[in-house]
Structure 1
Amino acid sequence: MKTAVFLLLVLCMPVVLKAQKKHALIIGIDNYYERRGVVSKNISLKGCVNDAMAIKGLLMNRFGFKENEIQTVYNEEATKDNILSKFISLANVCGKDDVVFIYYAGHGVTLWNSYSPKDGKNQGILASDLYSKTSSLIRDNDLKTFVNKMIDKKAVVTFINDCCFAGGLTKAAPIREIDTVGRMRSIRYVHKEHEDEEDREIEEAMKDTLLSRALPATNVDIKDKTIVQRPEDKKNSRFLFFAAATDYEESNERLDLNNIPHGAFTAAFIHVMKKMPVSATSTEILNNINKELTRQYIFGLQKPLMYGDPNRYNMNLLGSNLPALSNKTLVSVTAINQNQIILSGGASAGLARGNTLAGTGSKKAIKLRVDALAGLTAAKATITYGSAASIKVGDQFEVTGWHTVSLPRLKVYLPASPSLHAFNRFVSQVIQPAIYDEQYKDYNQVPGDYSFNIYFSKDKWQSIQQQLAPIDRGTYKVKSYKTINESKASFAVNSIDFKKLKQEVSKLDYFIYLPLPAEVSARLKSNLASNQNIQFVNNPSEADVSFYATVERATGGLIFLVSKEIIGEKFLDGGHMRERHSHRIEGYNIKQDAVNKLAVDLQNLLLLSASYKGWLNEYARSTNR
């Protein structure tokens, strides 16, 4: 009887449940300091703080985080001691089932370690205080130790890292190294933890790597036998890690559609999360990130990774069913100036020019359109339906459309060009005989000191003679083309042949720029008519690039190039630049039934070139916006 009464009392007692808490640590480092207050011009980055602010906006707008649940550490505050202190604090305050989110954007580091089971390497991140007497490196073993403490306390940890070599910070797998372009988040140097003097020498060398963004590997071996258990190897760890790149790859930065620099991985992450429900699984998120990076022509340069507890792969990003998750992006009105509405969030909320919003609650009928951004934290919008008198400061508006309006990434000049028949006739009568002429220089050859350029302009084949002269550039002697006179001759399209050409050039070297056939140019322009990333211009002086084709003897075919080398009748000094972006076809003639495919291939070539200038806009050009 007493036992039954006791059990009844226990059952009737109020049950006190521990509330699930949220904790976020967001680190973004653009500025690295040679001395206290003195920013290094050599290795500082541009998009990391922007990334961090965008991630913070995502947590607050979509995942219900409050300001007091997020710690941010930027630039000068991101010293080694301060970062370590934040990790220690996070490990101490988190509890069972708490949601822990960690994000880092900055430089990644590769460390050579002959004792490491990870292909002889360890990784790390770089704090902002390069002047630190104990080195500014934070080792992967340190990061694993902190995360393991959180896991041991049964917290649910998500760690996202947008830096070079990120894939090896808690785990690594041997993956081939590839070349990349653009601004990189990498420093390749080593750190011997117990030899501060050597650290100083390495960091001094690092400061001198001005343009490469990656220090060549040294022979210093840290010879560290310490092995810290990988968080994902802990049983039921509930740990998830996203890496912007493998442990062998560097992480790119790109300008977004607002021309604000971001890490390519984070830009893709924010982009896909705007359109995905917060219930989307981590696997779905990674797949969509990779699709977006492929569309941006970046996936071949860096391949994001995800690993951790396999149970997390099919859960949402945070691995938790938090009650405050939202599939909406909401921003608030901060000011009203006649018909112009100032909104909170700006770029950090993912807003861009052209986005549409609608009021909430009783003001659903009011419609806005974003016309401009005012930095990372504000946007200017115009009322497209409704009255400003109905809007008050503090009103919330929901993003209803992400259609974005942006300026072209690439302006292209395509001159009037011969028909496909005339193109093939020229190739047959001039190019193919020229292949056997020693003075004819193909794509892979450099002309002699005096040479002719043959090109098509104003419905005629033109020739211009150039002289190759050395230019003194410090310790290097570089030969560069200088035009010594204007057009020497014009050939009617249907009258030129190899014999006539040889009479013109005599014994001098010559190079022939082939234009795109008219049919290919027309199809290319049609394919890209609604594409916001490419603008075709009629004035060569407005163009960034043009197209030309030439012969490549080695492959027995034509090579098409997006090039700055010749735009209209303007030749760049230093000619025959051998542009990176090219497309090859077999044979020296273009068949009529190959025109459409060639135009599509050249379209992709243009978009690839445009992607190097910034993020590509997926939305079509709209005539009614």
Structure 2
Amino acid sequence: MRMKLKNYFLFFCLFTICHISYSSGKKALLIGIDHYYDSEKERYAEWQDLDGAVNDATVMYNLLKSKYGFSTKDMTLLVSPKSTTKKSIVKAFNQLIKSASKGDQVCIYYAGHGAQIKNSKFYELDKKHEAIVPSDVLRTNNFLLDVEINELLNRLLDKEAELTVIFDNCFSGSGTRGAIDLNSLQSRYVPISDIDIDQTYKKQKSAAERGALVVSAAQDYQLAKEYKDNRGQSHGVFTYALMKAMQMSSVNESAEDIFKRVNSIILYNAVPRQDPVIEGQEERMKQPLFGGVADPSIGVQVGIVDAENKYKITLDGGSAVGIVPGTQLTHVKKEVVVEVTALFGVNGCYGKVIQGDKALEEGDLVKVTKWAPYNKNRLKVYFGEMGISDIEINALKELERLLADKGVLEYAPYEENVGFIIKKEDDKWKGFYSPSESISFGHSIPSFEKLEKVISKLETPNNKIFIEVPPSTAVYQELNGSLSGQPKIQAVKAEEKFDYCLIGRFNDKNELEYSWVRFGAQKEEKHNPLPSYTDWVAPHRTFTLSNYAERLGELKGWLTMEVPPNNANFPFKFALKKHSTGALVKNGALVEGEEYGLALYKDNNLYDSWNMEDRYLYIFLLTSDGSMKLLFPATNSSVENNTEQIMKDPSGDYKDEILIGYPDLLSVSPPFTTDNILMLSTVTAITETSIFNQDGVRERGSGDLSLNELIDEEEERSSKQSNWFLERHTFFGTNTQ
């Protein structure tokens, strides 16, 4: 089945880091608003002045200047009430746009109040605009809406600037180092309950759709907070954590790794109800915060959350990235090694220091330097015992040429017309008419003359011969090295049961290439969710074969992982909603030509016993070509995906059913295969949502979608209730109702 994803951006997000091209000049616009005109008047008591926004903008200004090479003549700092009215902010934007050139690194930073404003005619699901609050809003009632900001961002992108936009206002925020007094936290949020813009806006192409990286200090419905540090200075919680992460990191460190630092600092301080968000294309997240090319980062890095006890280090990473007990992680500069002792939740772990004397601290990044392999869910692969020589390779090449000239050579073992397969087993060459009927050719490759007798016995339609070419010595050695110790892959011997076998061939151009072929692919199960085979790969691209094996391991992990019981009675479930009839399809056939949207519905039997603990939802697609794609939330984000936000109606009651995004998001067309859609629900937000995306292992026409793995070994909670659950839904295409 080819499942097509319509090119919709499900949820517009305002706060953006964007990348277009290699940079030259550096420009910045920084805005901090503490004082709002007329806020001291009694009728505006809910509009509190802030204490830390000006501090934050000033700190970021100095950090850009001192560490990142921005010049004061190319930076504008707006912090006075007069310079932060809506008119003044828009004017500064326009001046920046006018001065920007192709390749410029442009940074825009905002700290101040934020708001959500109702618009019953708005195209977004929640019918609300995100907005920043200018200093004169109480006099003019004019907010700077997300659609207005997005237009300004797109004008900068039209100039082909590398644009970084960071907003630390409401619906953005994070935590900091040193114990934060949670009682002193102040929200950068202004409640707006009696305004309905009631205006239609044409849907824009967002900056994120143009290759943006999106960073927000909090989920869209959360409050970004500020607090006083141990010196009595006020800061936004997110900005303070970001500032610390930027100070700790290289200017070339990737945005992805800086975000890991920020998130681990926030987790350390346990700031309530504030989860920072990063979204965007994987390529951009691997570049530096302000664009360009990042230092290469080999392997997996995770952040330290708590390092006060060297025998119980808390890390912000776990089974989601392949970490299990026994995995070792190293802080290279400090020469400290941490060994994982236990996992908790879906993406956290504990460890202990086993080497090194220097102290770790929250925000440090440690790199996986030794994997501890998974047990039962690993993908089992077989790729021979030791490889064959170049002499044997050349002999097989000549034999295949002769069979091709004869018209009896087949180029794939899974084709139905294959009646005889030649392969090497136990150091001997054998020929198989079927698994139970074979002949032996001894230790030598069979001659063409011997095979002529076989050819004479083959009858149409099974009259073709396939030769399984074992890996060369070089290919075998490279695979043996790259796959050894992988957390999701286990190399096995021929007599053991395996999922995939490495098979070589000479193609119709008589060129050697290899593919992973699934066991039993000749007898294709009608609805097997794993790919029958991968693309064929030339020997000099063995690294691609390793990568394909890792992707297949990800798929198997999702499809076979053990899921804890839903003893929390989480009541919201996933289905596809047929656009033409509104019917919910929970599994099974999807009809060619029909269109489907993503839907959530409430199971009332579970709802009555639910512990009322809301969860974040992640819906993703696993396709039969081996690819995975996050469908919700959109654009690799964690925005607007909590049940408290998306399932509640205005009165606070939970809805029985909702449609997520567009009703015609998915459609079905031939070839009809089997795809899986999974929904992960978790109490803890997964900030690194790139783990839900992966390229496929073979060409599949125009169908392309993706995901990753979370094998759980979570620590028991005192409540005895699991804090996550995974639903699996299998769908296949058909051309009949």
TM-score (norm 1): 0.40
Structure number having the greater helix percentage: 1
